[in-house]
Each structure stands twice: as structure tokens, then as C-alpha cells.
Structure 1
Amino acid sequence: MRTDDDGPGLVPQMAPAVEALPGLARVAAGAAWQTTGWGMRTSLRTSLKVARAVVDPDARAELAREAVGAVEIVSDVARSLVTGTPATIDVPEASDPRGAAQRSPSVREASPATLRERGAALLERSRDVWSEEQGHPAYARILDDLAPDEARILLLLLQGGPQPSVDIRTGGPAGLVNSQLVAPGLSMIGARAGVRYPERVPAYLNNLFRLGLIWLSREPLRDPEDYQVLEAQPDVLAALHSVKFAKVVRRSVHLTPFGEGFCRMTLIEPEEVATADFPEHDAPSQVEPREG
């Protein structure tokens, strides 16, 4: 039944396509219409498009074209049922990149206008003298990127201070000209932190460095005694004995100021923050990645 609100030529073009089908095919076409009639349902569910169609002849014509396209899909499906040939159904919405972009929240959020709005809101908050924001907004995301063992390493650095590490390099006369790295970043951080997977400590340190929580200093700690136990460890001795001439290069691992603030906010209780006297860490002047 056609009403006055139907678009021009909407029902007259649909009726012949469906009514001309045999009974069984008509039932199949009706079922196909329920699953493939995306064009009509999507258009009618879009309130803005429907409202425009009431007053805009072009919008009504567009609505009619979408309906005709849906009817063509139904006709193809019904014809395939009658003749036994496969039907090729082209659904524009699934392949239209503009539609995909409209449905993707990340695309909308990354638009220049949205980014400018968020930037303006951020500056407005910076001018709010009554705001009492606690911690950096990145802290929550960082917690999702940490392994339990990495939290133990951060707690060790916060409470125990900077940790010694050593690189083993080739020495001797040849080492004066071209020293080769034998074993980088050997430390006792895993053992002192009590991690569950000590073999993963190099990967843990890489991740903490990536997140900006630690930095790997090329400078040694001030107290040479911090290295005595480390340099007697089996892995250090094995690296030293793996080459004819070897030398030990002393390094250190520190929390960054950002990492120290993260640990204070997320890993210990506020009462401990107020009363504890945590060791100091050197601030990186220029962070350089670990060699090797």
C-alpha cells in the first residue's frame, strides 16, 4: 500500500519485482529482504535524512534510489533461487570507505576540529586555579602496559635507589682500537626485586625504558662498592671468560622524574609517601639507548 509520504516511484517499483515471483520464490525473497534490505532500513532509521526527505525533493529521490537498489538485490536473490545460479550481491555500505570512516569513532576523534577542541579544553583546565588533579593522566594507561615483575622492579628502584649494571666489552690492545660489546646491561635487578621470571629482566627494562619510567645511564654509581657483588656473579664471570681480553664498563639504572612520580602515586600507600625518605636518582640530561 502506498502512502503520501512514500518517495516518488518507491512502491510501484518494488511491487512488480516481488509480486511477479512464484510463491516459493516470493517467500524466499521476503526472507532475503529481511537480511539484505539494509538500504531501506538504514535510510528510514536516519532521522535527519527522513526529515530532509519531507521538504527536499532531491532527498526524496535519493531515498527512492536506495529503495530501488534494495529491490534489485532482492530480485537477484530470487532469480538465483529460481534458476539455481549463484547471485553476486554488491552491498555498497560494506565497501564504501566513506561510510566506514563515518562509523569509526577513532577517525572522528582524530579529526583536526576535534583535536583543537580537546586542546582548548586542556588549556582551559590549566587556567583553573581551583583544579586539584592528582597524578598524570598517562598513569592509568601505563599500568595496563606493565607486567607484575616490572612493578617489583620499579618498587626496588624507588625504595632501593639506583642500581648498578655492567657491560662486558673486549679489551686488550685490540680493544683500544675497536672494542666489541660482549654482554650488555648485566645486573642483579631481577634477584633483588624478587621477580618471577629472571630471564625476562632485559625485556622488562626495555619496556620500562620505552614507557619513560627508567633511564639507562652511561655513568657509574658514586660508590664503587655497589659493583663488587655484581662483578662476582656467574653471568658476569662467564662473559669475562668468554673472550681472551675483556673489560668491565660500569653503568647504572635510574628512575626518571616521571617514573618516580608514577611509583609514588601508584605503587605505595599515601602514608608511606608522606613519611618515607626515598633515595635520590640522577635526572637524565640526555637519554641514550643502551648499546647492543
Structure 2
Amino acid sequence: MSNDPLREGAGLLRIAASAGWSTAQWVVHTTVHTGSRVVRGLASGESPVKIAGELGTELRDAARSVVDPPATEPRPTEHQSSVAELRARGAELLRRSADVHFVEDMHPAYDRILGELTPDEARILRFLSKEGPQPTVDVRTSRPLGIGSVLIEAGLSMIGRQAGVRNLSRTNAYLNNLFRLGLVWFSREEVEPSRYQVVEVQPEVQAAMAKAGRAPRTVRRSIHLTPFGEDFCHTCLPLDT
């Protein structure tokens, strides 16, 4: 084993230099540092032997860190099904569909959906299941022929209030999540005209109409459970309470 730290450090540098561009950048930086250290040491009267020994140790440690960097823990990765695995699952579904003895008591997505609902959203679903489609209105500014009309508020309803949700201001966010899950849909069709009169006198609708300025107009729409939502409610929610 060599007792000359400078010679050992220089040998490691030659190995590190073959490792690529990033190592070459490190070599340039180290060379500048080494030259500065020698000049400062000699100017302050340090022994050349002491300077050489310290530099050799630094070069040896730094070069080894480039050649053999410390191991890092691999990041855990989620399992992702291959095409073959997905196709095998699809084939199994088709096999069950042809099996006259196979009985599916509920949709497999219902378990996941229940984990993505808030208590208030469950209340809304139960209300829609028991009371049917509900009226909603959009408030817009009034323009000739509707050209250039600006939407002020959309989807205003009494659904949250009538369902008894605790966070009334989040009603539209709840409905958006239920739509995302495929449980409700926003229809352009109207329900009975008389039902909109109660909605249009609600404080939030009146505030939107005042914001719309002169002669605001309302666009009447409705919110329904989808067939998937209806089956979900009858399967997962106690509708008789």
C-alpha cells in the first residue's frame, strides 16, 4: 500500500476522470481548490510536507466519493398491472358473464365509492332517491338574443337545504363530486315550472340576480340521479330512515 497520499489521490483522480462529464466538472473544481490551498499555505509559512499531506487526504476522500457514491434507498413503486394481467382480468369477466350460475349481488365499484363520499353527500343522495329530480337555476346577464350574456352563478338550488346538509356552502362541491362518481347528472330539462318559483326567491339567487344588473334572466335546469346512482342508493343507503 502506498504511503504517499498525493500519489494515491492522483491515482484515484485518474479513475474518477474516466467516469464522465460530471466527474470532469468535479476535477476542474478540485484543481482550483487545490491550487488555492497551496498558495495560502506557503504564504502563511506552513510546511510543504504538511500541505501535501492534507491535500492528499482530501483528494483521496473526494475522488472515492465520485467513484463509489453512497448507496441510496430505492423509492418504492406502486405495482402497475401489465397488459397481459389486464387482459387476463378482462377474460375472467367475460368468463363469468357466460356462467349462468354466477350471481353478482352488487357492483364492485360501490365499496370504493362509499369511501369517497362525505356524510353530507350521502344525505343528498338519499334526498334525491326519495324525492326525485330537483330544480336548479343559472343566473345570467340579459342581452338581446342572449348574445354576450355572462354567467353570474350556476346550479343554484335548494338541494343542500332540503337534504339537511351541515355545510350548506359546499352543496355545489358535493354535487360535483357525485357527478364525478357517476351518481348524478345535470340535465338541461326542466321539472314542473311551479317548483322553480321557490328556488328563485332564495337569498343566494336574489343576490346573483342583483349582481347581474338590469333585467337579469334565469336559466332553468334540473339534477337527477343516474340509473347507476339509483342502484347505488338502493343497495348501499338505508332509504327508510
With the shorter chain as reference, the TM-score category is 0.5 to 0.7
Contact 1:169 1:181 in 2 (8 A): yes
Tell me if 1:106 matches 2:75: no
Runs of 4+ deviating beyond 6 Å: none
1:167 to 138, 155, 160: 138
Q: Work out the CA distance in 1 between the residues paired with 2:196 and 2:173.
A: 22
1:130 aligned residue:
101
Q: Equivalent residue for 2:34?
A: none
Deviation at 1:92, TM superposition (A): 6.8
Of 200, 205, 217, which aligns to 1:231? 200
Partner deviation per Cα, 1:158-200 (whole Å, 9 max, x = no partner):
0011111000111153x63221111111000110000010011
The normalised TM-score by structure 1 is: 0.56
Deviation of residue 91 (structure 1)? 6.6
Q: Which residue of 1 aligns with 2:180?
A: 210
Task: Show CA shifts across 1:202-258 (max 9, x none).
Answer: 11111011111000011111x112112111111111111221220011110000001
Of 255, 263, 266, which aligns to 2:233?
Answer: 263
The higher-RCO structure (CA 8 Å, 6+ apart) is: 2
Report which of the two structures shows the higher radius of gyration computed on alpha carbons: 2
Per-residue CA deviations over 1:54-95 (Å, capped at 9, x if unaligned) read xxxxxxxxxxxxxxxxxxxxxxxxxxxxx7958745477845
2:25 — aligned with what?
none
Partner residue in 1 for 2:220 = 250
Summarize deviations over 1:5-51 as a string: whole Å, max 9, x none: xxxxxxxxxxxxxxxxxxxxxxxxxxxxxxxxxxxxxxxxxxxxxxx
> For this pair of structures, how many residues does the alignment match?
178
1:148 matches 2:119: yes
Mapping of 1:1-292 within 5 angstroms? Answer: 88=65, 90=69, 94=73, 104=77, 106-107=79-80, 110-173=81-144, 176-221=146-191, 223-242=192-211, 243-268=213-238
How far 1:121 moved relative to its partner?
1.0
Amino acid at match of 1:130: H
1:120 and 1:181, CA in 2 relative to 1: closer, same or farther beyond 3 A?
Answer: same
Counterpart-to-counterpart distance in 2, 1:155 and 1:224: 24
Unpaired runs of 5+ residues, structure 2, are 1-56
Distance 1:189 1:91 in 2: 60
**RMSD of Structure 2 on Structure 1 (CA):** 2.2
TM-score (norm 2): 0.68
- Counterpart amino acid of 1:260? E
Relative to structure 1, is the Cα distance of residues 172 and 112 closer, same or farther in structure 2, using a 3 angstrom cutoff? closer
